[in-house]
Structure 1
């Protein structure tokens, strides 16, 4: 049986996001064009936040997700760049955090693919009081780990299923737990597990959570599968404690819900598709509110060759802006990292860009004034052209300027 959807007319309305009503009352036919943003970096002041060789709690303690932070009830700041054994950096200020090896969250390594409790990356956090913290996690299931699937030629392309799950802390972020799997699942592919989906199936990453007009919004990414297109889905809820309460944009409103994780609906998968954000092709790693110009900034990775002589594409961190989370500007390149060109295969040099303002007044660091930092993971490849655990979290000061 499908879940009944009970969404009030006001919640269904697609065009009253945030400040649309004020625009209409003011007599505009459409929202005024927001000021164009220019973000500049001071690359002479790059600094290391976490150095794996020196700061790791264990070998697998690596920055493997975008940097996300929140403030706890005791004034502490928790900074996560999660790997499956989720260990934060903790301190009294975002500028002064160090590894806290006693705070860890680890899934149960459940072999049942329908439970989505094998490996979990805690990827975003939201709190209003510093006591109860909600976290959206990315739960990966690789059938090859349990020899359920044959080992594919491309490790990232086959027998990989992922879901977005909810974890909760009630002690200020010291510990996190989930509901009994799969009741912790927010978004998963509507199909039951199969050994050969042909491409990664389900939902894989989340942006920050943004709170506006009594709703909590996030962008979740899917590689697409059958009826679902690849891209970012704008998703919202009015109750962070309820994994079943999330609704996703269907092109006219937030009218679609995700499949009940306990009852996948293989016969009608089209009932659970979202309409993707067309302007943003890749995973949104950071989403925040620019207080000065009253608009949103999103940042993501792209891969492009800089010259015709490049064998492999270079990593580009790009940003785009929006007034309503639905319509986004043409992206601009913020930072480019050269990919080693002397290897037989592409070696990732950097990943997971995010923007954080240490002086943000928001407990979830979801806002920025005109100054902050670009955080990202810098990979330190071995001389043998192999990617290892040796990677560091670094940051670069940035300044935001606006132009009418």
Structure 2
């Protein structure tokens, strides 16, 4: 017997039986790239405001009340590229948001990457960010073997601009926290703990949705969590998909330890292999397109994996199509270890009529970060934001 729940996505009621919805992914489409026309959007050696000004997040954009376009693809200093349109943006070095390097791990105000933006009027802009706490930054790690994985906790936090995007501020920590693990900080949790990245925010009816990623910790499984709110101004208003509805709430950040941590976990979404870097609405076929990157070993046995960008489709954010390859970046053959050659893929349409660039028709650009030092098999800050024209063909 089917049971109907009281929520819709894109006007479609979801009927669920044995935990699965009757909605299927949307009609097939093919995304092709014109790789011969790759463009530089931000060249680190020439355009940087400081050594630390690197493209370290997916490209996201919004239009301000005065018509300016803000493009963020940023590190934790959060310097925007600003211009009159998405095709002509340059770094605005005087405007940036940096967290306070608060040493209290429960406040999540050490370093924050602004990762997604949403505005209705171009004046008030809401931003969800990934706020990291590394114990190694504060000598608060018992055995720092690998800095990127030991004593690493993260939360999704809310920042707000009331002046069209020129400045952002937060509520007094920890009241700015949207999503965090229902446990207090401990040394060496075994893997990064908490919630780490967020997709674009998309609106359907009175609700706003986003996908956030967790590596999994204790009761929480690894994967993408779908969450929603009807009030972007309230960090505590977000609710969690639990497999049947949006029935769970994140733990109170003032009292993160709880006797029932399982009541503050999500049911991860099947069919998404990695962190969703871009989520947008394809208007001609009335479906969502999501983009992520994975490591993919080539056909040559024993070779190092390449970086592969893939896209998937959905009508309801819950049920996704089979992944299709969008772009692949080869790992240099001379490297003995895996090196990052590209990351943070997103799709943006400069001609979108949406203030948040959350829609696309059949033309746009694939944006991503290109790591220039990969040919030397070394990691460095030398990386650029580039874009490639794309076309979407409907079958």
Return the TM-score normalized by structure 1. 0.93
Q: How does 1:291-330 map to 2 (within 5 A)?
A: 291-330=283-322
Count of residue correspondences: 388
Distance 1:244 1:79, change over 3 A: same
Tell me what 1:158 maps to. Answer: 150
User: Is the Cα–Cα contact under 8 Å of residues 52 and 61 in structure 1 kept in the other structure?
Assistant: yes
Structure 1 outlier segments of 4+, above 3 Å: 12-15, 29-33
User: Is the Cα–Cα contact under 8 Å of residues 312 and 339 in structure 1 kept in the other structure?
Assistant: yes
Distance 1:98 1:14, change over 3 A: same
**Could you say what secondary structure the match of 1:100 adopts?**
strand
Tell me what 2:259 maps to. Answer: 267
Displacement of 1:13:
3.3
Q: Which sections of structure 1, spanning at least 5 residues, go unmatched?
A: 1-11, 24-28
Displacement of 1:261:
0.5
Query: Which among 123, 146, 169 is matched to residue 161 of structure 2?
Result: 169
Tell me what 2:139 maps to. Answer: 147
Q: Which sections of structure 2, spanning at least 5 residues, go unmatched?
A: 16-20
Distance 1:146 1:95, change over 3 A: same
Displacement of 1:169:
0.2
User: Is the Cα–Cα contact under 8 Å of residues 25 and 321 in structure 2 kept in the other structure?
Assistant: no
**Could you say what secondary structure the match of 2:263 adopts?**
helix
Task: Report the Cα distance in structure 2 between the residues aligned to 1:330 and 1:294, rounded to whole angstroms.
Answer: 17
Tell me what 1:9 maps to. Answer: none
Distance 1:33 1:263, change over 3 A: closer
Deviations 1:366-396 (A, max 9, x none): 0000000000000011665221000000000
Distance 1:65 1:21, change over 3 A: same
User: Is the Cα–Cα contact under 8 Å of residues 132 and 173 in structure 1 kept in the other structure?
Assistant: yes
Return the TM-score normalized by structure 2. 0.95
Tell me what 1:247 maps to. Answer: 239
Distance 1:32 1:342, change over 3 A: closer
Task: Report the Cα distance in structure 2 between the residues aligned to 1:89 and 1:180, rounded to whole angstroms.
Answer: 27
- The Cα RMSD (Å) is 1.7
Query: Which among 170, 177, 187 is matched to residue 179 of structure 2?
Result: 187
Displacement of 1:213:
1.1
Tell me what 2:339 maps to. Answer: 347
Query: Which among 75, 92, 108 is matched to residue 116 of structure 1?
Result: 108
**Could you say what secondary structure the match of 2:95 adopts?**
coil
Task: Report the Cα distance in structure 1 between the residues aligned to 2:129 and 2:389, rounded to whole angstroms.
Answer: 28
Task: Report the Cα distance in structure 1 between the residues aligned to 2:149 and 2:127, rounded to whole angstroms.
Answer: 27
